Amino acid sequence: MSGIVGSRFNIRGSGLVGSLGTDGQVFTSSGAGAGAVFEAAAGGGKILQVVNRDSATNTTVTDHVAFGATDVYCAITPTLDTSKIFVIPSGYADIYGTSEVCTRIRIRVYVDIAGGGYNVVSQFDYNAIQVQYQNVSDSGDEIIHGAWIVPNCLHDPATTSEVTYKVYIRKDIENLAGDHVKYGGVAATMTLMEVDDA
Protein backbone atom coordinates (compact mmCIF):
# COMPACT_ATOMS: atom_id res chain seq x y z
CA MET A 1 0.00 0.00 0.00
CA SER A 2 1.04 3.60 -0.36
CA GLY A 3 -0.28 7.06 0.36
CA ILE A 4 -3.60 7.78 2.05
CA VAL A 5 -6.38 5.27 1.62
CA GLY A 6 -9.88 6.00 2.88
CA SER A 7 -9.75 7.31 6.42
CA ARG A 8 -6.40 5.76 7.31
CA PHE A 9 -2.83 7.07 7.26
CA ASN A 10 -0.62 4.28 5.90
CA ILE A 11 3.15 3.97 6.15
CA ARG A 12 4.51 2.12 3.10
CA GLY A 13 5.91 -1.32 3.88
CA SER A 14 5.78 -0.91 7.66
CA GLY A 15 2.48 -2.56 8.40
CA LEU A 16 1.66 0.27 10.84
CA VAL A 17 -1.72 1.89 10.39
CA GLY A 18 -3.00 4.86 12.41
CA SER A 19 -6.16 6.92 12.25
CA LEU A 20 -6.06 10.39 10.77
CA GLY A 21 -5.86 13.22 13.26
CA THR A 22 -8.24 16.11 13.74
CA ASP A 23 -7.75 19.79 13.02
CA GLY A 24 -4.90 21.27 15.07
CA GLN A 25 -3.25 17.95 15.99
CA VAL A 26 0.33 17.03 15.10
CA PHE A 27 1.79 13.70 13.91
CA THR A 28 4.29 12.54 16.53
CA SER A 29 5.97 9.50 18.08
CA SER A 30 4.08 7.65 20.78
CA GLY A 31 7.24 6.11 22.22
CA ALA A 32 10.08 3.72 21.40
CA GLY A 33 8.93 0.78 19.29
CA ALA A 34 5.40 2.17 18.95
CA GLY A 35 3.65 3.61 15.93
CA ALA A 36 3.39 7.32 15.35
CA VAL A 37 0.08 8.95 16.29
CA PHE A 38 -1.79 12.23 16.04
CA GLU A 39 -1.85 14.24 19.27
CA ALA A 40 -2.63 17.75 20.44
CA ALA A 41 0.20 20.21 19.88
CA ALA A 42 2.16 21.23 22.94
CA GLY A 43 0.71 24.33 24.59
CA GLY A 44 2.29 27.30 26.32
CA GLY A 45 4.73 29.92 25.19
CA LYS A 46 2.83 31.13 22.14
CA ILE A 47 2.26 34.87 21.64
CA LEU A 48 -1.47 35.32 21.05
CA GLN A 49 -1.52 39.09 20.50
CA VAL A 50 0.63 42.19 20.83
CA VAL A 51 -0.65 45.73 21.50
CA ASN A 52 1.26 48.97 21.85
CA ARG A 53 0.63 52.56 22.88
CA ASP A 54 3.02 55.50 22.44
CA SER A 55 3.15 58.59 24.63
CA ALA A 56 4.90 61.93 24.17
CA THR A 57 3.95 63.21 27.64
CA ASN A 58 6.51 63.73 30.39
CA THR A 59 4.91 63.36 33.84
CA THR A 60 6.35 65.32 36.79
CA VAL A 61 5.98 64.11 40.40
CA THR A 62 7.19 65.94 43.51
CA ASP A 63 5.71 63.64 46.17
CA HIS A 64 8.07 61.29 48.04
CA VAL A 65 5.25 59.33 49.73
CA ALA A 66 2.51 58.56 47.20
CA PHE A 67 3.10 57.16 43.72
CA GLY A 68 1.77 59.31 40.87
CA ALA A 69 0.36 58.01 37.57
CA THR A 70 2.26 58.73 34.35
CA ASP A 71 0.96 58.79 30.78
CA VAL A 72 2.84 55.57 29.96
CA TYR A 73 0.04 52.99 29.83
CA CYS A 74 -1.65 50.48 27.52
CA ALA A 75 -4.76 48.26 27.55
CA ILE A 76 -5.27 44.70 26.36
CA THR A 77 -8.18 42.24 26.41
CA PRO A 78 -6.82 38.69 26.88
CA THR A 79 -8.35 35.97 24.72
CA LEU A 80 -7.85 33.33 27.44
CA ASP A 81 -8.18 33.65 31.21
CA THR A 82 -5.10 31.42 31.56
CA SER A 83 -2.88 33.78 29.59
CA LYS A 84 -0.11 35.85 31.11
CA ILE A 85 0.73 39.36 29.99
CA PHE A 86 4.32 40.42 29.35
CA VAL A 87 4.41 44.13 30.17
CA ILE A 88 7.18 46.23 28.59
CA PRO A 89 6.98 49.93 29.45
CA SER A 90 9.77 52.13 28.15
CA GLY A 91 10.41 55.75 29.06
CA TYR A 92 13.05 58.28 30.07
CA ALA A 93 13.48 58.96 33.78
CA ASP A 94 14.68 62.41 34.80
CA ILE A 95 15.76 63.45 38.30
CA TYR A 96 15.98 67.14 39.22
CA GLY A 97 17.63 68.32 42.41
CA THR A 98 18.98 71.49 43.97
CA SER A 99 21.95 69.98 45.73
CA GLU A 100 24.67 67.38 45.25
CA VAL A 101 22.54 65.00 47.34
CA CYS A 102 19.93 64.49 44.67
CA THR A 103 16.67 62.62 45.02
CA ARG A 104 16.03 59.15 43.61
CA ILE A 105 13.16 57.83 41.50
CA ARG A 106 11.07 54.74 42.22
CA ILE A 107 9.08 53.17 39.40
CA ARG A 108 6.22 50.69 39.68
CA VAL A 109 3.76 49.10 37.28
CA TYR A 110 0.09 49.24 38.30
CA VAL A 111 -2.82 47.31 36.78
CA ASP A 112 -6.54 48.00 36.38
CA ILE A 113 -8.83 45.06 35.59
CA ALA A 114 -12.24 45.83 34.09
CA GLY A 115 -12.30 49.35 35.52
CA GLY A 116 -11.89 48.16 39.11
CA GLY A 117 -9.17 50.66 39.98
CA TYR A 118 -5.38 50.59 39.84
CA ASN A 119 -3.31 48.35 42.12
CA VAL A 120 0.41 47.66 42.07
CA VAL A 121 1.41 44.54 40.13
CA SER A 122 2.43 42.02 42.80
CA GLN A 123 5.82 41.40 41.20
CA PHE A 124 6.67 45.04 41.86
CA ASP A 125 5.26 45.26 45.37
CA TYR A 126 8.58 44.37 46.97
CA ASN A 127 11.17 45.19 44.30
CA ALA A 128 10.10 48.53 42.85
CA ILE A 129 12.89 49.73 40.63
CA GLN A 130 15.06 52.32 42.31
CA VAL A 131 17.74 54.26 40.46
CA GLN A 132 20.26 56.64 41.99
CA TYR A 133 22.63 58.80 39.97
CA GLN A 134 25.72 60.75 40.82
CA ASN A 135 26.11 64.35 39.72
CA VAL A 136 26.58 64.20 35.93
CA SER A 137 25.83 67.81 34.97
CA ASP A 138 25.26 71.11 36.70
CA SER A 139 23.14 73.86 35.17
CA GLY A 140 23.18 76.79 37.60
CA ASP A 141 21.72 75.49 40.86
CA GLU A 142 19.87 72.56 39.27
CA ILE A 143 21.48 69.16 38.86
CA ILE A 144 19.90 67.03 36.14
CA HIS A 145 20.17 63.26 35.86
CA GLY A 146 18.51 60.92 33.42
CA ALA A 147 18.38 57.40 32.06
CA TRP A 148 16.16 55.21 29.90
CA ILE A 149 14.21 52.85 32.19
CA VAL A 150 12.38 49.68 31.08
CA PRO A 151 10.78 47.97 34.14
CA ASN A 152 9.24 44.92 32.38
CA CYS A 153 7.33 42.14 34.15
CA LEU A 154 5.16 39.07 33.50
CA HIS A 155 1.69 39.30 35.05
CA ASP A 156 -1.19 36.84 35.42
CA PRO A 157 -4.47 38.85 35.30
CA ALA A 158 -6.64 35.66 35.21
CA THR A 159 -9.37 37.37 33.17
CA THR A 160 -10.72 37.95 29.68
CA SER A 161 -11.86 41.48 30.61
CA GLU A 162 -9.91 44.55 29.53
CA VAL A 163 -6.68 45.00 31.48
CA THR A 164 -4.79 48.30 31.60
CA TYR A 165 -1.19 48.62 32.78
CA LYS A 166 0.30 51.97 33.78
CA VAL A 167 3.65 53.22 35.09
CA TYR A 168 3.60 55.09 38.44
CA ILE A 169 6.52 57.04 39.91
CA ARG A 170 7.56 58.95 43.04
CA LYS A 171 10.60 60.50 44.64
CA ASP A 172 12.38 58.12 46.97
CA ILE A 173 13.55 60.64 49.57
CA GLU A 174 12.16 63.97 50.70
CA ASN A 175 15.09 66.31 49.94
CA LEU A 176 14.33 69.92 49.09
CA ALA A 177 10.98 71.36 48.00
CA GLY A 178 12.20 72.04 44.46
CA ASP A 179 13.31 68.49 43.77
CA HIS A 180 11.18 66.42 41.43
CA VAL A 181 11.24 63.40 39.12
CA LYS A 182 9.86 62.84 35.64
CA TYR A 183 9.06 59.81 33.52
CA GLY A 184 7.96 59.51 29.91
CA GLY A 185 9.43 61.58 27.11
CA VAL A 186 8.97 61.93 23.38
CA ALA A 187 9.56 58.25 22.58
CA ALA A 188 7.89 56.67 25.64
CA THR A 189 5.85 53.57 24.90
CA MET A 190 4.26 50.49 26.44
CA THR A 191 4.01 47.12 24.71
CA LEU A 192 1.81 44.27 25.99
CA MET A 193 2.13 40.66 24.82
CA GLU A 194 -0.45 38.01 25.62
CA VAL A 195 1.38 34.73 26.28
CA ASP A 196 -0.48 31.41 26.09
CA ASP A 197 0.51 29.71 29.36
CA ALA A 198 -1.84 26.72 29.11
pTM, two decimals, is: 0.72
Structural domain range at position 83: 46-196
User: Is 191 exposed, middle or buried (CB count within 10 Å of its CB: 0-12, 13-18, 19+)?
Assistant: middle
What pLDDT is attached to residue 170?
Answer: 85
Cα–Cα distance, 159 to 113 (Å, whole number) = 8
Instruction: Enumerate the β-bridge partners of residue 39.
Output: 26
Which DSSP string do the residues of 99-126 spell out, in sequence order?
A: SSS---EEEEEEEEETTS-EEE-GGGSS
Per-residue pLDDT of the chain (198 residues; tens, 9 = 90+): 455 444 445 555 555 545 667 765 766 766 777 767 777 666 667 899 999 999 999 998 888 888 999 999 999 999 999 999 999 999 888 877 665 555 677 888 999 999 999 999 866 654 445 555 444 445 544 555 667 777 788 999 999 999 999 999 888 776 665 678 888 888 899 999 999 987
Instruction: Enumerate the β-bridge partners of residue 120.
Output: 110
Residue 30 and residue 116 in one domain: no
Residue 103 and residue 166 in one domain: yes
Residue 12 and residue 59 in one domain: no
Q: What is the DSSP pairing of strand 153-155 with strand 59-61?
A: unpaired
Residue 32 and residue 54 in one domain: no
Residue 99 and residue 8 in one domain: no
Looking up residue 154, the CATH number of its domain turns out to be 2.60.120
Residue 35 and residue 65 in one domain: no
Residue 51 and residue 28 in one domain: no
Residue 99 and residue 183 in one domain: yes
Residue 176 and residue 141 in one domain: yes
| Total domains present in the chain | 2
Residue 10 and residue 87 in one domain: no
Residue 13 and residue 53 in one domain: no
Residue 32 and residue 71 in one domain: no
98: which residues sit within 8 A by CB, 6+ positions away?
A: 141, 142, 143, 175, 176, 178, 179
